[in-house]
Amino acid sequence: MQKIFVLLELNDEEREAFKAAAGDNEIVFDNEKDKFMSNQEADFFEDADVIIGQPKPHILKSIPKLKWLQIRSSGADKYLKPGVLPEGVVLTSATGAYGQAVAEHTFAMMLGIMKLMPIYRDNQRASLWRDEGNALTPYGMDVLVIGTGDLGSSFAKYCKAFGAHTIGVRRDPSKAAEGIDEMHGLDEIGELIRKADVICSMIPYSEEMVKFFNYDRFMSMKKSAIFLNAGRGPIVDCDGLYKALEEGHLFGAGLDTLDPEPFPKEHPLWRQQRVFITPHTAGGDHIDLTVRRVNEIALNNLKAYLAGQPLKNVMNG
């Protein structure tokens, strides 16, 4: 018999489905939301074989029986750091649950920038009736999506629906992605950035990509281009972005992820009129559909795990 801890926000139907999937194995539920990241310590999980949820990374090495960890996020950076997971523990993510939410948020941000909405919001607060000039439309634009997994592919589909031409970049350009009109490899990224009207980064974290988007790269973009980041914050050099914008380059920028987070109050990027910042809220559990999809992925993986079948979204193997 295995002991399975489930730390997810479950409705009654989902809870019963997890109980049924666990069969004769022991299953422990704790879906008090404030405990997901803050209150559980190693002794709470001391006899866990399986954890489904988001335990604090530093406690995992103290859980001797742990065999499998299913997290409820798509990014697994903090769990993949050396020494976090005990040897032999399988890590799976909730990749596939967040595409719609992140795509909608990023597309809304892009469209808002094109229609000057952040500027008009500032004007509204100042009771200022003023035409701010020409706006943009996605129709006919070249939208470059860097990172064409679930998030990037979902965003590209929205852009195509509005008449844009979508260009994808991924490590293996022979692998197609829904919503992408043409696919390229990373070796072509410099030239693609120079030509695109919109550059959207959905890049997952890696050391080699830290500050990939720096001042020089921003200055290589069209003066009229829009830059969006819904991937990882460290990919963008925020000082370099601010400098480029202050020099009149780029039509605007939308950032849902920054480095560091929370973003420092004193950073001048907050006050740059052509920047649209949201506090890493594109994903998460801000829409109910995402929560349900996370739980579905976890439930299906639990069934596969107990049946000895391959797991989906394995991050460390």
How far are the Cα atoms of 148, 153, 179, 187, 214 from residue 183, in angstroms, in the given order?
9, 11, 10, 12, 23
Task: Give the count of beta carbons closer than 10 Å to the beta carbon of residue 56.
Answer: 14
Torsion of Cα atoms, 235 then 228 then 287 then 32, to 10°: 20
| Average pLDDT over all residues of the chain | 95
pLDDT, residue 36, reads 46
Q: Give φ, ψ of 183 to 5 degrees.
A: -115, 140
Task: Give the count of beta carbons closer than 10 Å to the beta carbon of residue 133.
Answer: 7
- Burial class of residue 45 (count of CB atoms within 10 Å of its CB; 0-12, 13-18, 19+): buried
pLDDT, residue 37, reads 42
**Is the model's pLDDT at 218 over the cut of 50?**
yes
Q: From CA 211, how far away is CA 234, in angstroms rounded?
A: 6
Average pLDDT of the segment spanning 84-91? 96
205 pLDDT band, cuts 50/70/90, is: confident
- Tokens matching residue 117: 């909405």
Closest CA to 229 of 189, 273, 191, 280: 280
- Cβ distance 238 to 212 under 8 Å? no
- Cβ distance 91 to 69 under 8 Å? yes
pLDDT, residue 38, reads 45
- Tokens matching residue 289: 């559909």
Average pLDDT of the segment spanning 65-93? 95
- Cβ distance 34 to 54 under 8 Å? no
**Is the model's pLDDT at 139 over the cut of 90?**
yes
What's the pTM value of the predicted model, to 2 decimals? 0.92
Closest CA to 218 of 235, 205, 233: 235
- Cβ distance 201 to 213 under 8 Å? yes
Q: From CA 47, how far away is CA 126, in angstroms rounded?
A: 59
- Cβ distance 62 to 42 under 8 Å? yes
pLDDT digits (tens, 9 = 90+) for 254-295: 999 999 999 999 999 999 999 999 999 999 889 999 999 999
Q: From CA 298, how far away is CA 133, in angstroms rounded?
A: 49
Q: Give φ, ψ of 78 to 5 degrees.
A: -70, -20
pLDDT digits (tens, 9 = 90+) for 33-48: 444 444 567 888 989 9
Average pLDDT of the segment spanning 217-240? 97
- Tokens matching residue 85: 């997971």
The answer to whether the peptide bond before residue 260 is cis (omega within 30 degrees of 0) is: yes
pLDDT, residue 31, reads 59
pLDDT digits (tens, 9 = 90+) for 157-185: 999 999 999 999 999 999 999 999 999 99
- Cβ distance 310 to 300 under 8 Å? no
